[in-house]
Amino acid sequence: MEVSSHASSVEQVYIRGEKGYVILMAVGEEAVLTVLAREQAKLGLLFLDMRRAVESLEQIV
């Protein structure tokens, strides 16, 4: 799923809230992986794991 403008497309959305994060990552053009994480989460590792999950999910979506 991509949100397109004239020049670019969105592959991931990162929202920071009072108690943590909501992260959305495109899985192909028709699906979105959504993760809720605590404020203490190690975001680098989280993004790495999400990217790996997206690669696996793209094979079945």
Residue 15's domain comprises 3-58
Instruction: Round to whole Å and give the CA distance between 24 and 14.
Output: 7
Q: What is the pLDDT of residue 29?
A: 87
Total domains, the chain = 1
Among candidate residues 38, 31, 22, 20, the one with its CA nearest the CA of residue 53: 31
Domain containing residue 54: CATH number: 3.30.450.30
- The model's pTM is 0.80
For the stretch 8-46, pLDDT in tens is: 677 899 999 999 999 999 999 889 999 999 999 999 999
Q: What is the pLDDT of residue 61?
A: 85
Q: What is the pLDDT of residue 10?
A: 78
Q: Which two tokens stand for residue 5?
A: 């403008």
The answer to whether 23 touches 14, Cβ cutoff 8 Å, is: yes
